[in-house]
Amino acid sequence: MLEPREVREKFRAGLRVPTSGYCPGFAQANLLSVPKEYAYDFLLFAQRNPKSCPILDVTEPGETSAAIFTGDLRTDLPAYRVYRDGELVDERAEVTSLWRDDLVSFLIGCSFTFESALLEAGVPVRHIEAGTNVPMYRTNRECRQAGSMSGPLVVSMRPVPADLVAAAVRITSRYPAVHGAPVHIGAPGLLGIDDLAEPDFGDAVEVKQGEIPVFWACGVTPQAAVMRSKPSFAIAHAPGHMAITDARDSTYQIP
Amino acid sequence: MLEPREVREKFRAGLRVPTSGYCPGFAQANLLSVPKEYAYDFLLFAQRNPKSCPILDVTEPGETSAAIFTGDLRTDLPAYRVYRDGELVDERAEVTSLWRDDLVSFLIGCSFTFESALLEAGVPVRHIEAGTNVPMYRTNRECRQAGSMSGPLVVSMRPVPADLVAAAVRITSRYPAVHGAPVHIGAPGLLGIDDLAEPDFGDAVEVKQGEIPVFWACGVTPQAAVMRSKPSFAIAHAPGHMAITDARDSTYQIP
């Protein structure tokens, strides 16, 4: 089993994969780096939307590593997205040449963190079985605004057999720092999701007979806020291609 | 049983009491109001020290109520402390005349919130039995710094019978937003507390034979940070004299 440092080295060397199932036992994180002038608004946005934006760590301006991520934030994720004025302008393997001294980086909890616990309890995780990226959807639910930052809630979806939905709720509830309990169970239409086969990010997965689509708040929500709120510049992970931290899953587990 | 609104009216009319045991079922909160120029540093300080400074709500500058507190933040707490350049300069029943349009108010989780759950489980809460304020102590543990904000961890202490300490841990762990699990159990000397009979805030309580002093991170930590970090101005609750919110305890309970 590779250590987080070793996996980050592979990503730095060019490996590009969704990270679900990688480095089980270690927490994964969403990345958002914005110029300092936007940092307060984003930190407040996160505080006001803790289900979708649970902050695990925040760097000082310009820093390229963090307390829970001793790698290099510019190179050690498998893929990055770059936004200018809210427009996605690039997807890249590294962002060293774009880095700025005024970038404050936020590491935000990721639901991949509790997938090991789901698997251990016998709850299947379809996108791991399929070897694809988790499906993610923009919803019709509005986040609480904070200054210049606003946007819709983004959710990830996992199909869960009906008799295991309660177990999935109970298990993921114990990880509030990585999105915690589902925000919605069944009835995707009520979230404004017309077709589960057409995710806004990631890959569609099969929902089998007797399975219920279960929706968790997703750390791509900050990127949806960037698209809406149009800060002059932002760097983020490519959805599903997360920062592998040095923090153990158990750090974020409530008994 | 009085509703939060009714209790707040009593405080507004002049009642001055520690709020432990008041309005059971509703969350209580610490208050810190600082000028906008300090808001980012404090929000980051809170994020980096979530055990002692779990943020429940943040106002816009100048606002006198909050999403979880529909009363008036200037009058509806039983008592306030006022700091100038880090010095405690006043303790007052209300702060209307001192209010400023640039004050950002932080409502921070309070361990009084989980005391009902402790009592229901048969864990005695000594300061409620005694009708006094909870004892609070500055420790030798340093919080993680954020910009201009630094300071020591402050803890509250409850003596717990040795055979109920595990239950107290299990129960309070379920409330991470109001300090969660204890930070220290027994051995007050290791926290730099020489004499439990001399708390830095609140009132001493008896530790009976067979009881262990159990320490939870405390929302007075922000006031200790104000004393160390010396922002030009700050308003806080008087320790133990909390904001009674409209949010139910269960909002903050993890299953």
pLDDT at A75: 98
With beta carbons under 8 A apart, name residues in chain B contacting A47. 43, 47, 55, 58
pLDDT at B255: 76
* Mutation target among B34, B44, B175 for the A interface, most CBs of A within 10 A: B44
pLDDT at B172: 95
Q: Any chain A CB within 8 A of the CB of B48?
A: yes
Domain B4-111+229-250 sits in CATH 3.40.1640.10: yes
Q: Do A170 and B47 touch (CB under 8 A)?
A: no
Give the A:B interface size as CB pairs under 8 Å.
40
Is A1 a residue whose pLDDT tops 90? no
pLDDT at A255: 76
pLDDT digits (tens, 9 = 90+) for A105-164: 999 999 999 999 999 999 999 999 999 999 999 999 999 999 999 999 999 999 999 999
**What share of chain B in percent tops pLDDT 90?**
96
Q: Do B255 and A44 touch (CB under 8 A)?
A: no
Average pLDDT over residues B79-93: 98
- List the one residue out of A49, A205, A3, A63 whose CA is nearest residue A124: A205
Average pLDDT over residues A204-214: 96
SS3 state of residue B222: helix
- Judge residue A40's burial from the number of C-beta atoms within 10 Å of its C-beta, 0-12 exposed, 13-18 middle, 19 or more buried: buried
Q: Any chain B CB within 8 A of the CB of A1?
A: no
What is the CATH architecture assignment of B121-217?
A: 2-Layer Sandwich (3.30)
Q: Any chain A CB within 8 A of the CB of B243?
A: no
pLDDT digits (tens, 9 = 90+) for B199-247: 999 999 999 999 999 999 999 999 999 999 999 999 999 999 999 999 9
Question: pLDDT category, B254, cuts 50, 70, 90?
Answer: confident
- Within chain B, strands assigned E span 26-35, 55-58, 80-84, 87-92, 103-109, 136-142, 152-161, 184-185, 211-217, 233-237, 243-248
Q: Do B176 and A254 touch (CB under 8 A)?
A: yes
- Say which DSSP state B97 is in: G
Q: Where are the domains of chain A?
A: 4-111+228-252, 116-217
Average pLDDT over residues B8-36: 96
Task: In whole angstroms, give the CA distance from residue A201 to residue A240.
Answer: 8
Rounded to the nearest integer, the mean pLDDT of chain A is: 96
> Which CA distances in Å does B222 have to A89, A99, B108?
41, 33, 9
Question: pLDDT category, B157, cuts 50, 70, 90?
Answer: very high
With beta carbons under 8 A apart, name residues in chain B contacting A144. 67
Q: Do B170 and A43 touch (CB under 8 A)?
A: no
Rounded to the nearest integer, the mean pLDDT of chain B is: 96
Q: Do A170 and B48 touch (CB under 8 A)?
A: no
Q: Do A254 and B40 touch (CB under 8 A)?
A: no
Query: Which homologous superfamily does the CATH classification assign to the domain defined by A4-111+228-252?
Result: PSTPO5379-like (3.40.1640.10)
Phi-psi region of B240 (alpha: psi -120 to 50; beta: other; left: phi over 0): left
Q: Per DSSP, what are the bridge partners of residue B91?
A: B81
Residue pair A123/A168 in contact (Cβ under 8 Å)? The answer is yes
* Mutation target among B40, B48, B169, B178 for the A interface, most CBs of A within 10 A: B40
What is the CATH architecture assignment of A116-217?
A: 2-Layer Sandwich (3.30)
Q: Any chain A CB within 8 A of the CB of B12?
A: no
Question: pLDDT category, B47, cuts 50, 70, 90?
Answer: very high
